Structure 1
Amino acid sequence: MEIVVWIGAVLSVIGLVGIVYSIVAVTKAKRANLSDEDLRARVSKILPINLGAMFVSMIGLMAVVVGVMLG
């Protein structure tokens, strides 16, 4: 079950990278002094990336836990 742990770790890192990208993108958008509508539009484009990254990270952490419990 060691392979499940490693696959889960890789998925968790990919999710973490996506979350960090979302944080950086939203911070850049806030610092750009956009109008309220433009800021909402940009953040709404980033939101699916953030949710997908959190999902991938969650699946990765679940795989790590399952791999540890079965191994």
Structure 2
Amino acid sequence: IQVGETLRTPFTPDLEPQGTAIISLQEQDGRHILIVLADTLDTLADATARLESGEFRDVIVSELLGVIVAAN
């Protein structure tokens, strides 16, 4: 995952970072680690709400990665 002028993942076209959140599940040393990156607290709150409600399944782009893009 690369974040700069655009957000780049191997599974999506380049995206604008504004209004975008990334949900990444990593496994290391037998532990599962969930990482959520967002551009603002509002985007982070939206991503967290999706995780809490289970409404994140439509943003999964690979087995371990989800990308949330805010509606314009």
- Whether TM exceeds 0.5 here: the answer is no
Q: Which has the higher strand share?
A: 2
Q: Which protein is richer in helix relative to its size?
A: 1
Give the TM-score normalised by structure 2: 0.23
Q: Which has the larger radius of gyration?
A: 1
